[in-house]
Structure 1
Amino acid sequence: MANFTAADVKKLRELTGAGMMDCKKALDEAGGDVDKAVEALRIKGQKGVAKRESRNAENGAVVSLIADDNSSGVLLELKCETDFVAKGDKFVTVADALAKHVAATTPADLDALLTSEIEAGKTVQAYVDEANATLGEKIVLDRFAQFTDGYVAAYMHRTSPDLPPQVGVLVELDQPNAEVAKDVAQHIAAFAPKYLTKDDVPAEVVEAERRVAEETTRAEGKPEAALPKIVEGRLNGFFKEVTLLGQPFAKDNKKSVEKVLQEAGVTLKRFARIRVGA
């Protein structure tokens, strides 16, 4: 048997995230050389990446990174297969490193992010694949948001105390207001609006909703003359439900979110909400 110590096994586990027995076997095969054992485990892990491609990655974490002066911010989702891996330090460290890379490079889109170099000679995709190999689960990076043109703040929500945040919200105001930013971000986390304003709802979505409203109203036997008014009322109710500015504010449902922003004298320029796996 190769000459290695419990400290060598511990070091190898910390470097690779592999299990104890796998580390012992790798050290044995590498003659006790930790560096060779690391290489062997990573090669073995990379061979398993393709096998994991068909698995579902519906767990994970949402991480955020906000500039000290709130001038920019990043929201990023990293997915894995199990909550066991999601709450591990190594997984969260990978997610945080990816968020820092986004903040530093400002990629135009996901493809640009995945093909950019996070380390010398290593793309983000290769970095994620390496995490896939060392953690032994399918790891997926397919969503991020970055705001760089206003006062940016984030709200992170944990659905379980022993898991990293599962819901993250990024908001961008036209001027600093920490209290409003926090309140509105919390509202977004809870009520999940799909759009900022009525103008942001795609025309095809509006038309589909209008058809549903018309058919529903006719099926209820309403008078033909009353249809336009009823349909418009139902359409306005739809807008109130799916647009952030139209929703009743979480802390005071007598006011809309738009009214709260107006009273504070600020404009919400945009927002992003990410829930793991959704």
Structure 2
Amino acid sequence: MANYSADDVKRLREATAAGMLDCKKALDEAEGDYDKAVEIIRVKGLKGVTKREGRLTSNGLVVAKVQGEVGVMLELNCETDFVAKGERFIALGDELVEHLVSSKSADVAAFLSSTMANGKTVQAVIDEGNATLGEKIEIRNVAVIEGPVGLYLHKTSPDLPPQVGVLVSLAKEAAEVGRDVAQHIAAFAPRFVNREDVPADLIETERRLAEETAIAEGKPEASLSKIIEGRVTGFVKEVSLIEQAFAKDAKKTVKQILDEAGTAVKAFHRFRVGQ
């Protein structure tokens, strides 16, 4: 019988995020040798990577970094919150975002195929993460933005890493306003900077839905046009950042806050884990 303790099982589980039974089996096979048990779990994990391809990755983290006037952010996903809050998964996110700073690959496919300082591609490092952590790991989103940059990361639970992240590109440096606007975007989830950015087909879809809803509600035919346009206008304001009421001062719009600071939002990215 292999010679190992409950502490050895706990240590192996914390290091690899493998299940308790898998850790015990690995220690049995390794005859109590911890390092060998780690390798056994890793090898078995690599063999199981393809089996995990269809699994859902609804947990994970958002990690970001601003260096000079360049901001980068990525969403790294996993299957369970147990892995998401583990040191190894968080360290993997930090390692990947550091590479994103240097590679500036704004496309997921391009980023996955880029080569890291260790000579491995990002995809190879992700595959190793799959093996070591025993779960499907994937990068869902990446963003690269030039600034000045505002950044905000939000934890939806104190025991988890950030689940929401926002990068904002400003026309002129305004650090406090940049962070405040990024925080506003995290909370209110606008889809576009201003109404001119809203696609015409999206507006037409909203107009059709507004008409169908108004008719179903039995609104007078003479008032339909006004009601429909009012609802479409409301929709456009709702999805346009600069027209939203500012989170920290609802008496002002985001545009007014930006104007007072002498700046404007050129672009933004908002990631939320699993969305």
Fold agreement, TM-score > 0.5: yes
Query: Structure 1 regions of 5+ residues with no counterpart?
Result: none
Q: 1:2 and 1:261, CA in 2 relative to 1: closer, same or farther beyond 3 A? A: same
Q: Is the 8 A contact 2:30 2:37 kept in 1?
A: yes
SS state at 2:136 partner: coil
Q: Deviations over 1:98-144 (max 9, x none)?
A: 11111111114111011111244421111111101100111111211
How do 1:206-221 residues align onto structure 2 when only pairs under 5 Å count?
206-221=203-218
Q: 1:13 and 1:210, CA in 2 relative to 1: closer, same or farther beyond 3 A? A: closer
Q: CA deviation at 1:3?
A: 9.0
Q: 1:12 and 1:218, CA in 2 relative to 1: closer, same or farther beyond 3 A? A: closer
Q: CA deviation at 1:15?
A: 6.6
* AA at the equivalent of 2:237: K
Partner residue, 1:89: 87
Q: CA deviation at 1:2?
A: 7.9
Higher mean C-alpha displacement, 95-104 vs 213-222: 213-222
Q: 1:26 and 1:104, CA in 2 relative to 1: closer, same or farther beyond 3 A? A: farther
SS state at 1:164 partner: coil
Distance in 2, Cα, partners of 1:104 & 1:6: 42
1:203 correspondence with 2:200: yes
Q: Is the 8 A contact 2:58 2:78 kept in 1?
A: yes
Q: Of 70, 74, 77, which aligns to 1:76?
A: 74
* AA at the equivalent of 2:177: V
1:136 correspondence with 2:134: yes
Higher mean C-alpha displacement, 180-189 vs 4-13: 4-13
Q: CA deviation at 1:234?
A: 1.4
* AA at the equivalent of 2:209: V
Distance in 2, Cα, partners of 1:223 & 1:171: 44
Higher mean C-alpha displacement, 76-85 vs 216-225: 216-225
Q: Deviations over 1:156-212 (max 9, x none)?
A: 111111111111111111111111011111111111111111122122111101112
Q: Is the 8 A contact 2:17 2:83 kept in 1?
A: no
Q: Of 176, 179, 183, which aligns to 2:176?
A: 179
* Corresponding pairs, count: 272
Distance in 2, Cα, partners of 1:266 & 1:248: 17
Q: 1:26 and 1:120, CA in 2 relative to 1: closer, same or farther beyond 3 A? A: farther
1:239 correspondence with 2:242: no
Distance in 1, Cα, partners of 2:195 & 2:8: 60
Distance in 2, Cα, partners of 1:226 & 1:82: 51
* AA at the equivalent of 2:28: K
1:189 correspondence with 2:192: no
RMSD: 2.7
Identical amino acids, percent of aligned pairs? 56
How do 1:246-261 residues align onto structure 2 when only pairs under 5 Å count?
246-261=243-258
Higher mean C-alpha displacement, 105-114 vs 11-20: 11-20
1:98 correspondence with 2:96: yes
SS state at 1:159 partner: coil
Q: Deviations over 1:62-110 (max 9, x none)?
A: 111111x3x1111111111111111111000001111111111111411
Q: Of 160, 163, 178, which aligns to 1:163?
A: 160
Partner residue, 1:51: 51
Query: Structure 2 regions of 5+ residues with no counterpart?
Result: none
Q: Is the 8 A contact 2:62 2:162 kept in 1?
A: yes
SS state at 1:277 partner: coil
Distance in 1, Cα, partners of 2:209 & 2:14: 56
Q: Is the 8 A contact 1:13 1:23 kept in 2?
A: no
Q: Deviations over 1:11-63 (max 9, x none)?
A: 9777755564255235339xx594x6554432211111112222211011111
* AA at the equivalent of 1:27: A
TM-score (structure 2 length as normaliser)? 0.88
1:271 correspondence with 2:271: no
SS state at 2:160 partner: coil
Distance in 1, Cα, partners of 2:34 & 2:89: 26
* AA at the equivalent of 1:114: L
Q: CA deviation at 1:9?
A: 8.2
Q: Is the 8 A contact 2:9 2:24 kept in 1?
A: no
SS state at 2:235 partner: helix
